[in-house]
Amino acid sequence: MRQTLAFDIYGTLIDTQGIAATLEGWIGERAPVVARAWREKQLEYTFRRGLMGAYADFDTCTEQALRYCCEALGVALEPEQEAELLRRYRQLPAFPDVPPALDGLRADGHRLFAFSNGTKETVSGLLRHAGLEDRFEDVVSVDEIGCFKPDPRVYRHFLQRANVLPVDAWLISGNPFDVIGAQAVGMRTAWFDRAGRGLFDPWGYEPSGTIQGMGELAGMLERG
């Protein structure tokens, strides 16, 4: 049965830890630690801004999070290095299992959407650089309504843009907060547990299904 699939981008299809390779040339073995801290602070800033009603786009949150983490961890970057790092963040790689799986899902007749905290311009460029842009029917950004996941308005906005009922739409995300947010408005969900740790927030919500690789998604959809 044809389904509408909303794919989270950062950390689900695109490897945010890919930035560690750039950092490593400047700060050595501390690169993975800084990359993880940067990602965590980036998300924290979106949550805080959402609660405050003080929206600033994802690119701003990303830049401010980088500056905070560098200061907190004692990493001194030159202005040109910071600019290069932010540029590279717009050119992160896709996980290797993503392109063939998306091709298979399109061949099966499913509607594929990119659904992200990032701005449409940034996400489109990121997908283009990763060679994924033409796999998607559209890019739906939270920037269009000025709030972040997991605000319920974000998921309702996606449903409106895709012109689909919650029961006929799936969110695929590696972030439990995103999965719970979509589940709360009636969407079906696939939690992408790449690490295979099974560590999901104990909030009384369960994803419709769990996958550890993109190749498992088609089979899960068939089973409903």
Q: Which of 56, 89, 122 is the last residue of a domain?
A: 89
Q: Does 106 lie in the same domain as 44?
A: no
Q: Does 145 lie in the same domain as 35?
A: no
pLDDT tens readout for residues 176-202: 999 999 999 999 999 999 989 999 999
Structural domain that includes position 59: 16-89
Q: Does 32 lie in the same domain as 123?
A: no
Q: Does 62 lie in the same domain as 124?
A: no
Q: For residue 25, what pLDDT is reported?
A: 86
Query: Would you write out the chain's pLDDT as a tens digit for each of its 224 residues?
Result: 789 999 999 999 999 989 988 888 888 989 999 999 999 999 999 999 999 999 999 999 999 999 999 999 999 989 999 999 999 999 999 999 999 999 999 999 999 999 999 999 999 999 999 999 999 999 999 999 999 999 999 999 999 999 999 999 999 999 999 999 999 999 999 999 998 999 999 999 999 999 999 999 999 998 87
Based on the structure, what is the number of domains in the chain?
Answer: 2
d(CA 171, CA 211): 12
Phi-psi region of 163 (alpha: psi -120 to 50; beta: other; left: phi over 0): left
- Examine the residue annotation and report whether 57 is marked as an active-site residue of this protein: no
Q: Which of 8, 57, 143, 178 is catalytic?
A: 8
3-state helix, strand, coil in the chain (%, to 5): 55, 15, 30
d(CA 34, CA 24): 10
Q: Does 207 lie in the same domain as 98?
A: yes
Q: Does 73 lie in the same domain as 101?
A: no
